[in-house]
Every structure is written in structure tokens, then in C-alpha cells.
Copies of this chain bind each other. A is one copy, B any other.
Amino acid sequence: MTKARVTVIDIAKAAGVSKSTVSLVLQGSSLVNEGTRSKVNAVMRELGYVYNRGAANLRQASAKSRIVGVVVNDLTNGFFAELAVGVDMVVQSAGFVQFLSNTGESIDRQREVVASMREHGISGLIVSPARATDAADFKPLVAAGIPVVVVVRSLPGAKVSSIVSDNRAGMMSAVKHLAGLGHKRIAFLGGFPDTAVFDDRLAGYRSGVEAAGLDYHEELVISSAPSRAGGVEAIGKAIALGRRPTAAVCFNDAVAFGVCDGLRARRLEPGADFAVVGFDDVIEAQTAVPALTTVSVDPQGIGRRGAQMLLKQINAGKAEAETVTTAVRLVVRESCGAGKTAPARAGKSAKSKQDAE
């Protein structure tokens, strides 16, 4: 109903002080007398004043906008959703808000949203770059003094901070675990071959295989879309092989779920008839049936950590690029066949076990 906006001047007038004083109160300055302060605050409440950050940002440096941009590839993927939640947590409690957008792996869209965010004066950016992102893409940002933190996928060449999980070590431990259970033919399923993450995980797989004294066979590496559907597809190919594998490490949990689906469709029970290990440890991994053995990446932790890193740089005023790789941890559940023998699911197809356990 009130037509005009309530401004700092209205407050000043109503409280019988100057706009400068009101501004001081707004910023919690210690210069202002306690009595005046409370009076001003009272008037503000009474008139329903809302602070206009836009106007403030105009005057102050953009570092004070208290907006951080967050760009992810696919919110629908639990991994990124959790990442965003992690970021939101620390960002919110620091009094910032987040601009969140997802690119759907489209590099054009990424450019668009980043540009838009810039126009809105973000104080910093956390981004999981879309595939084939050019390292130079974020150059203008850092040149303008806007800190950038790259998460999940590293961006070699760009001199920005980044925080990725230890993909090599994670995959290696997964393979070793399966080998320890007696598996000799272990497949690597899913993922697009042209990404850094894929390379890292594949390298970890290879190291694991060799460390276990097994041979590395190219045919056991079957790439596919890193999605549930991709998992179904990949396990199909794997089973069609002459000497079929008895276990698989998957590019991520989505693929692993797809692999389980594919197995069941062929009347094979994941865990019992074929060992499956995922990567990420998304929330569903622990409640799925069978519960998924997977490499826990703690996406929310990455989000929190990335946000902290970003805030630090924002406050420091200068962006000193640092790279962090976060530790991962194999979480053994049921789908690898080694889990706590616990949920002895009755009525399970009693197939002949191959060689697991």
C-alpha cells in the first residue's frame, strides 16, 4: 500500500537525526550514542524500513555485496545438490546469500550465468566448471579482483583456487578392497573419457589393479554417460564380454545404481552375484537395497570447505590461489558382497556364487 520506499532519510527525519547517523547505526558503528541507536532502531522497525543493498554496493567496493555465485552442472544430481547445500550453510551463516545456477554442462549457459552474476556484483564465485571449460574463462573475474574457487573438477592452467577430492586414492582403495575379496576380473564402468575426473579415477583403478597383482585389461574399462542410464548400458556391455567380470568399480554412484538395475534385470543380485562399488556416497547410497559400497566424497563437506576458502579470500581482499585435495574414504556396505552379513534378505534368488567372499 505504501507507495514510496522508506529510505534512510525518512528514518532520519522521523527520528530527528541526520541520515549520516542512521547510516552509522545501520553499520553498527560504535561511534553512535546508545540512546540514539535504540531510538533509530525503533523508528526503523516502526516504519518498516528495508535496507537497500543495491544503493550501498554502489558506494562500497563490490567485495561488500555479500553475494556469492554458485554454479553447478546438474542440481538434479544429488552430489551437486549436496554441494550446494554445503556452500549455502557457511555462506548463509556468514551473512551472505548465494546465487545458484546450473549449467547442464552447457558451456554457453555457463558463460551467460557467470556474466549475469558479475553484473549483479557478486563478491566471489564457486564453480564446478562445465565440461570443456576453458581455463581462461575466469580470467576476467580474477583480474577484476573477484575470487574464484573451482570445485570438483580442476581447471589446469587457470590460476584460481581449487578443491577436488582424491579421485586416484579413492578408486585405488575400492579396487584393492574388491581384490582382497578374491575378485580377479574387476571392471571400471561409466563416465565420459574426456574429463579430468575420469582420468584420475581410471588412473586410480589401474594403480589398484596393478597393486593387487592383477593384469590391466582395456576391455574391462567401459565408459558411458555418468548417469543411471549409463550404468545400465555399461553393465550390459560388461556382461556380454567373453570372460565376464565378477565385480565392478563405477565412475559414480549414479552409474552404480544403474549397474544394480541392469544386474537385476538379468536376474543377478548385486552384492551376491556381482560386486558393485560406487563413488561419491550420495545420500541414497546408504538406504538403497542393497546398500551401496562406495567411496565417500562428502560433497557437502567440499561445499563447506570451498565456501570457507572463498570467504577467506573475499575478506583478505586478495585471491591467493591454493589447491586442496580432500581425503576420501571407502565405505563398505552390502553391494560389494562383503558387507555386514546383516540384512539377510529372505527370498533372494539363490544363485551359485561365483568366487566372491
Contacts and interface: CB of A to CB of B under 8 A. Distances in A.
Contacts of A118: 50
**Most chain B CB neighbours (cut-off 10 Å) among A1, A81, A84:** A81
Interface string A35-70: 000000000000010111111011000000101000
A104 B78 CA distance: 16
Contacts of A52: 58, 119, 121
B76 A346 contact: no
A64 to B, nearest CB: 11
A81 B81 contact: yes
A271 interface: no
Interface in A219-249: 225-230, 232-233, 236
Contacts of A348: 229, 232-233
Interface of A: 1-2, 48, 50-55, 57-58, 65, 67, 73-82, 84-85, 88, 92, 95, 97-102, 104-105, 109, 112-113, 115-121, 128, 131, 140, 143-144, 152-153, 191-192, 195, 197, 225-230, 232-233, 236, 252, 254, 257-258, 261-262, 264-267, 280, 283-284, 287-289, 344-349, 351-357
Contacts of A143: 1-2
B54 A265 contact: no
A265 to B, nearest CB: 5
List 8 tightest A-B contacts by C-beta distance, closest first: A77-B355, A100-B100, A226-B356, A264-B289, A54-B54, A267-B347, A74-B355, A81-B81
B229 A74 contact: no
A138 to B, nearest CB: 14
Contacts of A105: 354, 356
Contacts of A82: 75-76
Contacts of A2: 143-144
Contacts of A195: 356
A345 B265 CA distance: 6
Contacts of A92: 101, 109, 112-113
Contacts of A354: 74, 104-105, 225-227
Given A143-B2, A265-B344, A280 B53 contact: no
B287 A356 contact: no
Contacts of A283: 76, 228
A151 to B, nearest CB: 10
